[in-house]
Amino acid sequence: MNQTSHVDTAYTSDSKDTLHEWMTEYGQDVWNFAYCMTRKWEIADDITQEVFLKAYRHMHSFRKEASVKTWLLTIARNTVRDYMKSAFMRRVTLVDWVQNRETHPSAEDESFAQMAVSDIWKQVLQLPVKYKEVLILFAHYQLSMKEIARLLGTREGTVKSRLHQARLKVLQIKERDHDEEKRI
């Protein structure tokens, strides 16, 4: 109804302090999630900004049924999804799709490969988003199946199944990489 009321009422020094704490505590988690999903540094920055602005505007409605981290990751996942849906993002993704099939990796892919700390992370980040998000939320962010199901808006059974598929796909990528190394 009153679109500005949330913003107006939420602007208190307390809520700013809270946001500051949240950014210190979870800023890197949110950014990492956004980067894992989009593989674009600038978009990860934009999404992270959007997540914390949304969290600030809705701080009054956060009822602590979930942890702050889970809540922020929920907002991050929805924001990533919105970006993915935009025509702009589809266009960028289409460019990537073409580039990924070229003989030489793009500069972005190279920097991306350099970003990951380990081979296993490089392999996980190659997964399709729906498997990647489940595996990362479970293994890296240590969320329970129930929390992931709630975050994704799906059933626990679906999460379990996607997690299983994700692990299998990582193993396949690992084997493929291993074979390629042997050929070289």
Residue 16 or residue 179: which is nearer to other proteins going by CB? 16
Is 139 a binder of other proteins (CB under 8 A)? Answer: yes
Using CA atoms, how far apart are residues 171 and 70, in angstroms rounded to an integer? 28
Tokens of 3: 């679109």
Q: What does R_g of the chain's alpha carbons equal in angstroms?
A: 18
Q: How many residues bind other proteins, per CB under 8 A?
A: 78
Is 160 a binder of other proteins (CB under 8 A)? Answer: no
Is 105 a binder of other proteins (CB under 8 A)? Answer: no
Is 22 a binder of other proteins (CB under 8 A)? Answer: no
Using CA atoms, how far apart are residues 179 and 5, in angstroms rounded to an integer? 59
Task: Judge whether 166 and 135 are in contact, CB under 8 Å.
Answer: yes
Tokens of 119: 């081979």
Is 145 a binder of other proteins (CB under 8 A)? Answer: no
Q: How long, in residues, is the chain?
A: 184
Kindly state the smallest distance separating residue 120's Cβ from other proteins, in Å.
Answer: 4
Site for other proteins in 42-101 (CB under 8 A): 44-46, 48-50, 52-54, 56-58, 60-63, 65-66, 71, 74-75, 77-78, 81-82, 84-88, 90-91
